Structure 1
Amino acid sequence: MEREIKKVLVANRGVPAVRIMHTCRDLKIKTTAVYSTPDRLSQHVHMADSAVHIGDAPPGDSYLNIDRIIDAALKTGSDAVHPGWGFLAENDVFAKRVMDAGLTWIGPPADVIRAMGDKIESKKIAASVGIPVIPGADDLTTVEEIIQWMEREKVEFPIMIKASAGGGGKGMLKVENHEQIGTALSQVRSEAMKSFGDDRVLVEKYIERGRHIEVQIVADEYGNVVHLYERECTIQRRNQKIIEETPSPSLDTGLRREFCNAAVRLMQKIGYVSAGTVEFLFDAPNRKFYFLEVNTRLQVEHGITELTTGLDIVGIMIDVAQKKPLPFMQQDIVPNRWSLEVRLNAEDPRQFSPSFGTITRLHSPQGPAVRISPGVYEGAEIPPYYDSLVMLIMATGADRRDAIRVMDRAISKNLRVEGVKTLAPLLLSIIRHPKFIEGEFSTRFIEEHMEELVSKFIEKDSEDEMLKVARYVAEVSALGTPKWI
């Protein structure tokens, strides 16, 4: 029996909160924003129909405070909760608490979130449906045990030590030799306990020159599971994605079918509902792929899939939460464009250190074939407490080169951010790099080409503008007022 959602509390901030509110507006569904003290003037607060202050700056006092978020939903008459991405989006305890409070959870079931949130458990399930997994071990707790495992399984360096409950690039370190194992093991455990409350680790063979490819899935409560094809997410810094595209330039038709069918098979096995992704590591030279994880939430890069398929994934999540069946079948999904996304973070493009402060000037890219998913406005503050994402810039074209051309125009000609540093110079250098244009890259692309990328930076600041004005004034003084004035 279908249920109607009339008001959604968005348990997030910034870009994800704004993105969800746009779809709610389209569907004539009211929204509630929650905000911390430094976010009181944020864009998502302005957009919402109602807003509730839930605590001070630290996430534990605000965006991770389950009691205050649920209380805010009940007090504002919200009947559903959408978690976005990050914060509590993959927290099974939060999902269950939302449903126990009589609210509708816009996402997968809590038991699925719990099972897939454990990398050890998820690998076992993936293997049970015939999906290859990276050689690894989940019961190693000491340096000696790791060394013994490597000798027994004939695994050579490098290896990767990961937090079992990790995600989003957190809690993982690459280890190059015996001397690094002890330090890496301690560091991963410490970060895992701090970020996820679980210090168990997973040790895996590191796949050299791997590519990161994920498959977007949507599913309803009636057993319908449909893939919306794949996204390439290989360009990363510090294990976190900054450029994504669809389709993947790494795959041919046969491999694409294998990836997508494997993802559907896994999601059917676990009884998945709502939107989610199955992530794989692709060993391109050997044409092998391995299961990485399931993301039981909306992905940051979902927008490029929307551009190529014409679907609204957030809208599908809301419809599924209202117990509606998917309105399409697999054969109805026919992508017909190439789409590219860059994540514009407030970071120093050379060291990736966060850049906080007031955005004194903001001009977002415009023009044909460009889509912006914003999270701030001119005059807004970038606080030091949260993710530094300013906006998502998406470009689309008839083919890959066309999409890259549009993205080049969006970043180099139309984008202007002042007051904080952003990754814009690095992003522009990457999409102009011959290897990127040719589709020849791995997850180590930035690491391998950083010096060359930095050397190509073209940066502008307010001094450039003042020099232009001064030069114009000098010309008028010397040559007189132009006739066109």
Structure 2
Amino acid sequence: MSFRIFIANRGEIAIRIARTALENGFVPIGVYTKEDEQSLHRKYLKEDREVSSYLDIEEIVEAAQELGADAVHPGYGFLSENPEFAREVARRNIAFIGPSPSAMELSGDKLKAKEVASKLGIPTLPWMIVKDEKDVLEFAREHGFPILIKAVGGGGGKGIRLLRENDDVGKNIEIASKEAEKAFKDPRIYVEPFIENVKHIEVQILGDGENIVHLFERECSVQRRFQKIVEEAPSPFLNSAERDLITQHAVELATAIRYSNAGTVEMLFDVGSRKHYFMEVNARLQVEHPVTEMITGLDIVLKQIEITMYKVLDLKQSSISMRGHAIEARIYAENPLQEEPSTGVVKYYREPSGPGVRVDSSIETGSKVSAEFDPMIAKLIVWGPDRRTALLRLERGLKEFIIDGLLTNIPLVREIIKHEEFVKGVYTTKFYSQNINLFRRELEKRIREEALLVTGLQELAGKDVRKLIEPSKKLAEQHAESIDKLKRKAWYYYVSTRERLRKR
């Protein structure tokens, strides 16, 4: 009987896990909610069950048991870092594809993880648990402003507030604590110094509790409100010695806590002093794992499954090598100017393709996108033998990517990747906030130019259509296909004209 893997997730990550399962002879099964009844991920599941929420532990574990699951893969987000979920899965004699509950608890408590790192001699920033404004000001007297307020049990940019000298300390503490309580059921917050010019570097690790290896690092410094937009591997900024030390510290930490399965050790890299500081451990598969797969040739999801099935990692550090460069752009369904979610039905969908291009997506033509879930609908991942080639392929891929019926951040990403700081690889976590107004001005200029083109093309298309058919409803219905073809020709003409205008 085939090994049945229950995917406790939705969207692109559910599809990505299901693909590895299918390729390797496993049976992917899973869940969906009423909102996701027509979701693309259901087409990749051999069987599934409806649940009321992707966060209902009891309901999801019962569905897994009912479907005869041998193992549960949590994906990322939702219950992926919930130790109680992992324990409940184990209580039902189902294997959990991920780290142990104790590892989740340790990584979920940012301060406990920092204490472990400090004992190992891994650099960390000073920190202090705070309860009120008095505590924060006491910390500031010793370390100065700016200061970062963070949730002890946090992640994903939630429960984080940046405090500068004249900010309302009490209000920010209250907001951060409430966010932490809502997101992690843990209202505790702490403070640490905020370094102005840093890069966000993370190391992908795999382990079986004894044998721990790293798959090199990723850079995730293009962020807005502490959430990532563009990631790449390896970092274009680190030299070999810095890379070796950072990956060494990641493996040392994972070894000390006897980490098993896939995880990420996150660091801050001060571009001024060229020193790194341990930040946290993410005990799950990361959204940006594909860039690591592209440079190592390894299927991280498959390794997760194998570690769970055989209790051993069949990799040695000496057998892992890095080849080329990879970049990932997250595609969000949102207005690129206002950063507000865009919802509706995808009228036409075409993915980019060609050498070194990969798309992990949750949509197709006809898909419905709602505001109920995270707005990320796809990831465009490119690989090249060097960073320059990867950048050119990313630029091409973004131009080829067509999602009609929704607004997306594709135009914004195109502005990001052509900025001089990004091209040179010297950007920091401030890059997005410092340049967002520039990006918006460029987008507004492009929108005005394109609006004029589209208006003209629509008028021309209308005239051509009137030549093709009689002005009657019946004939219009009969010639609907011809009209659609004509409109599509007008669209391609518009795209090519737009590119010619840009090159002037």
Task: Give the TM-score of the pair, scaled to structure 2.
Answer: 0.89
Alpha-carbon displacement from aligned partner over 1:320-379 (angstroms, at most 9, x marks no partner) = 000253222111111111000000011221222211221222111111110000111111
Partner letter of residue 379 of structure 1? Answer: G
Q: Is the 8 A contact 1:81 1:104 kept in 2?
A: yes
Of structures 1 and 2, the larger Rg is shown by 2
In 1, Cα distance between equivalents of 2:226 and 2:51: 31
1:442 CA displacement: 0.8
SS in 1 for 2:395: helix
1:192 CA displacement: 0.6
2:491 matched to which residue of 1?
none
Higher helix share: 2
Matched, 1:297 2:289: no
Matched, 1:311 2:308: no
1:177 CA displacement: 2.0
1:96 matched to which residue of 2?
87
Matched, 1:193 2:177: no
In 2, Cα distance between equivalents of 1:159 and 1:177: 9
2:74 matched to which residue of 1?
83
Partner letter of residue 205 of structure 1? Answer: P
2:331 matched to which residue of 1?
344
The worse-fitting range, judged by mean Cα deviation, of 189-198 and 448-457 is 448-457
1:43 matched to which residue of 2?
40
1:58 matched to which residue of 2?
none
1:274 matched to which residue of 2?
261
Q: Is the 8 A contact 1:418 1:461 kept in 2?
A: no
Partner letter of residue 376 of structure 1? Answer: I
In 2, Cα distance between equivalents of 1:295 and 1:341: 19
1:286 matched to which residue of 2?
273
Compared CA separation, residues 79 and 292, structure 1 to 2 (3 A):
same
Matched, 1:135 2:126: yes
In 2, Cα distance between equivalents of 1:186 and 1:353: 25
1:436 matched to which residue of 2?
422
Q: Is the 8 A contact 1:31 1:78 kept in 2?
A: no
1:482 matched to which residue of 2?
none
1:160 matched to which residue of 2?
148
Matched, 1:13 2:1: no
SS in 2 for 1:286: coil
Aligned pair partner of 1:333 in 320, 323, 330: 320
1:472 CA displacement: 7.0
Task: Give the TM-score of the pair, scaled to structure 1.
Answer: 0.92
Aligned pair partner of 1:361 in 344, 348, 367: 348
Partner letter of residue 320 of structure 1? Answer: I
Identity of aligned residues (%): 37
Partner letter of residue 194 of structure 1? Answer: K
SS in 1 for 2:272: helix
1:423 matched to which residue of 2?
409
Contiguous gaps of at least 5 residues in structure 1:
56-61, 479-485
Q: Is the 8 A contact 1:159 1:206 kept in 2?
A: yes
Partner letter of residue 449 of structure 1? Answer: N
Matched, 1:181 2:169: yes
1:30 matched to which residue of 2?
27
What root-mean-square deviation, in Å, do the aligned CA atoms of Structure 1 and Structure 2 show?
A: 2.0
In 2, Cα distance between equivalents of 1:68 and 1:82: 15
2:57 matched to which residue of 1?
66
Partner letter of residue 180 of structure 1? Answer: D
SS in 2 for 1:322: helix
1:396 matched to which residue of 2?
383
Compared CA separation, residues 462 and 219, structure 1 to 2 (3 A):
farther
In 2, Cα distance between equivalents of 1:70 and 1:188: 32
In 1, Cα distance between equivalents of 2:281 and 2:4: 28
Q: Is the 8 A contact 1:5 1:80 kept in 2?
A: no
In 2, Cα distance between equivalents of 1:131 and 1:317: 27
Contiguous gaps of at least 5 residues in structure 2:
468-504
The number of residues matched between the two structures is 464
1:214 matched to which residue of 2?
202
Compared CA separation, residues 131 and 5, structure 1 to 2 (3 A):
farther
1:466 CA displacement: 7.5
Relative contact order, higher structure (CA 8 A, sep 6+) = 1
2:234 matched to which residue of 1?
247
In 1, Cα distance between equivalents of 2:286 and 2:22: 20
1:179 CA displacement: 3.7
1:203 CA displacement: 0.5
Q: Is the 8 A contact 1:220 1:323 kept in 2?
A: no
SS in 2 for 1:405: helix
The worse-fitting range, judged by mean Cα deviation, of 235-244 and 351-360 is 351-360
The worse-fitting range, judged by mean Cα deviation, of 376-385 and 249-258 is 376-385
